[in-house]
Structure 1
Amino acid sequence: MQFSSTETYVASPDLALAVNAAVTLERPLLVKGEPGTGKTELARQVAASLGLPIIEWNVKSTTRAQQGLYEYDAVSRLRDSQLGEARVHDIANYIRKGKLWQAFEADGKVVLLIDEIDKADIEFPNDLLQELDRMEFHVYETGETIMARHRPVVIITSNNEKELPDAFLRRCFFHYIRFPDAETLKRIVAVHHPGLKPRLLDEALTQFLELREAPGLKKKPSTSEFLDWLKLILAEDLSPEDLKRPAGEMLPRLHGALLKNEQDVALFERLAFMARRQR
C-alpha cells in the first residue's frame, strides 16, 4: 500500500514518505500545518489512493475521548423502563458506537481521520493513548472487549493551537506540512484550475506571495484561500493587466478572499499611505 499524489491532490515527496512510513509502522500519522494547507483533504486522498473507505471524526471544543469509543444512553433506558419497553432488558440497545468502534469493527481496513485534535481539552489525546496503541477498548456496561479486526490507517490533524502531550507524540509518526513553494503552488493550481493562462497565474502568484511576506500580518492567506482568489479572478474574467495595482495601492483586487480580518486590511492601508507620503 503506497500513497502518492492523486489527480486532485499534490503531495510533496516528504509528505508521501511520511504517510507510507506511518502505514508501514502501523502508527498514527500526526499532521500539523497552517490552516488551509490540505491536512483534512490529505486523509481523504490517502483513502482514495489506497482504495479504502474513510471514517471521519471531527473534533470540537466540547468533544470527549469517550465519544470516539461509545456512549451509554442512560436517559433513554430510564424512559423505556418507565414505559415498560421490552428492549430495556438488553443494555446493548443503549450503547451508541463511536468512530473508533466503527473503524475497529469494519470488515476491512479503513482510514480513520481524527480531525483538529488540538480543539479539544488538553486531556483528550492522553485519553486515547491506550486505545490507539493497543487497538482495543473495554465496554464496561456490557463487559465486552472491542478489538480491531483490521488495524486502521489513523491520520490525526492539528492546527498547532495547543501543545500535545509528549506521551501522545511518542506514539505518532509526525509530519509538518510546510507552505508550498512557488513551483508546487503552480502544480496545485494546475490541478484545480487547468488551462489557467501563465501570465495571469504569474501575476496572481507574485501578488499572493508578496502579500504573505508582508511583515506584521496577523493571518497569512493559505493555499485554499489562494485557490478561492483565483476562482474569483476567473469568474470576473480579469486579465493580468486588471490585476496590476495602481501606483500607491497595496491591496490586491478582490482582497476579501485573501485577508480575513480588519487588522490586516488596515495594515496594508497604512503601508499604502506611507508609500504615498514618501513619493
Structure 2
Amino acid sequence: MKFNSTEEYIATDDLRLAVNAAITLQRPLLVKGEPGTGKTMLAEQLANSLGLPLIQWHIKSTTRAQQGLYEYDAVSRLRDSQLGVEGVHDISNYIVKGKLWEAFESDTPVVLLIDEIDKADIEFPNDLLLELDKMEFHVYETQEQVKARHRPIIIITSNNEKDLPDAFLRRCFFHYINFPDRETMKEIVNVHFPKIRDSLVKEALEVFFDVRKVPGLKKKPSTSELVDWLKLLMADDVPEEVLLERDPTRAIPPLAGALVKNEQDVQLLEKLAFMARRGT
C-alpha cells in the first residue's frame, strides 16, 4: 500500500516518504507540526487514498489510555441488578469497547487516528506501549485476550504541547510537517478553490506571509486560516488591488479576523501601523 496526494490533500515528497516508511515498518507514524498544517486531515486522506476505514480517537485532557481499550460499566450493571434486568450476570454485556478494540477486531485493515496525544496526561503514551507494540491486550473482567486481526495503520498527531516519553518515541516513526512554502501553499489553495483568480492568490499569499513574518506574534496564521480568509475575500468580492496596496500605515488587512485570532496580535499590528505613520 502506497500513499500519494489526493484531490483534496497536497502531500509533499517528504511526507509521502514518511507515511510509506511507517507502513513498511508497521510502526505508528507520529506527526508534529504547527496547528492547521493538516495533521488530522492526513489520516482522513490516507484512509481515502488506500480505500480503508478510518477510526478516530480524539484525545482530551481527561482521556485515559484504558478508554481506548475498553471500559467496564459497573454502574449500569449495579442498576440493572437492582431492577432485575435479564443478562445482568453476563459481565460481557457491560464491557464498552474502545477505539483500539474496534481497530483490532475489524475484518479489514483500518487507519487508526490518535489525535493530539499530547493533550492527555504524560503517562498516557506509556500506558499504550504494550498494546501498540504487541497488537493485543487482556480484558481482566472476562479473561479474554484481544488480538488484532490486521495490524492497523496508526497515525498519531501532536501539537508539541508537552514532551512525549522516550520509550514511546522509540516505537514510532517520526515526521514534522514543515509549514508549506509559497508554491505548495498555492497548490493547496487551488485544491480548495479551483476557479480562484491567480492574481488574487498571488496578492493574498504576499499579505499572508508578511503577517506570518511579523516578529512577536502570539499565534501565526495557519493554512486553514488562509483558506478561510480567501473564502471571505471571494465571498465579499474584495479586489486584489486592495491587497496590492499593502500600506504599512494600515492596521491590519481586510477581513483579517480570519487570520489574527487574539487581541494581543491585533494590538501588535496596530502598534506597528502607528509607528509606520509616525515615521512618515
TM-score by length of 2: 0.98
Q: Structure 1: which 5+ runs fail to align?
A: none
Work out the CA distance in 2 between the residues paired with 1:196 and 1:74.
56
Deviation, structure 1 residue 270 = 0.5
Quote the residue 1:213 is aligned against. 213
Deviations 1:114-137 (A, max 9, x none): 000000000000000000000000
Work out the CA distance in 2 between the residues paired with 1:89 and 1:38.
47
The one-letter code of the counterpart of 1:70 is Y
Work out the CA distance in 1 between the residues paired with 2:257 and 2:170.
41
User: Secondary structure of 2:21's partner?
Assistant: helix
**Residues 3 and 16 of structure 2 are in contact (CA less than 8 Å); yes or no, is this contact kept in structure 1?**
yes
Quote the residue 1:269 is aligned against. 270
Deviation, structure 1 residue 203 = 0.7
1:31 matched to 2:20: no
Deviations 1:27-54 (A, max 9, x none): 0000000000000000000000011000
**Residues 70 and 97 of structure 2 are in contact (CA less than 8 Å); yes or no, is this contact kept in structure 1?**
yes
Work out the CA distance in 2 between the residues paired with 1:216 and 1:85.
62
**Residues 248 and 273 of structure 2 are in contact (CA less than 8 Å); yes or no, is this contact kept in structure 1?**
no
Quote the residue 2:256 is aligned against. 255
TM-score by length of 1: 0.99
The one-letter code of the counterpart of 1:85 is V
Deviation, structure 1 residue 245 = 3.8
The one-letter code of the counterpart of 1:276 is R
**Residues 60 and 120 of structure 1 are in contact (CA less than 8 Å); yes or no, is this contact kept in structure 2?**
yes
Deviation, structure 1 residue 249 = 1.0
Quote the residue 1:147 is aligned against. 147
Q: Structure 2: which 5+ runs fail to align?
A: none
The one-letter code of the counterpart of 2:14 is D
Deviation, structure 1 residue 223 = 0.3
Quote the residue 1:235 is aligned against. 235
**Residues 22 and 29 of structure 1 are in contact (CA less than 8 Å); yes or no, is this contact kept in structure 2?**
yes
Work out the CA distance in 2 between the residues paired with 1:44 and 1:195.
24
The one-letter code of the counterpart of 1:189 is V
Work out the CA distance in 1 between the residues paired with 2:30 and 2:131.
16
User: Secondary structure of 2:88's partner?
Assistant: helix
The one-letter code of the counterpart of 1:191 is V
Quote the residue 2:224 is aligned against. 224
Deviation, structure 1 residue 238 = 1.0
Quote the residue 2:166 is aligned against. 166
Counterparts in 2 of 1:97-136, with a 5 A limit?
Answer: 97-136=97-136
The one-letter code of the counterpart of 1:161 is E
Deviation, structure 1 residue 141 = 0.1
**Residues 245 and 251 of structure 1 are in contact (CA less than 8 Å); yes or no, is this contact kept in structure 2?**
no
The one-letter code of the counterpart of 1:69 is L
Using the aligned pairs only, state the percent identity.
72
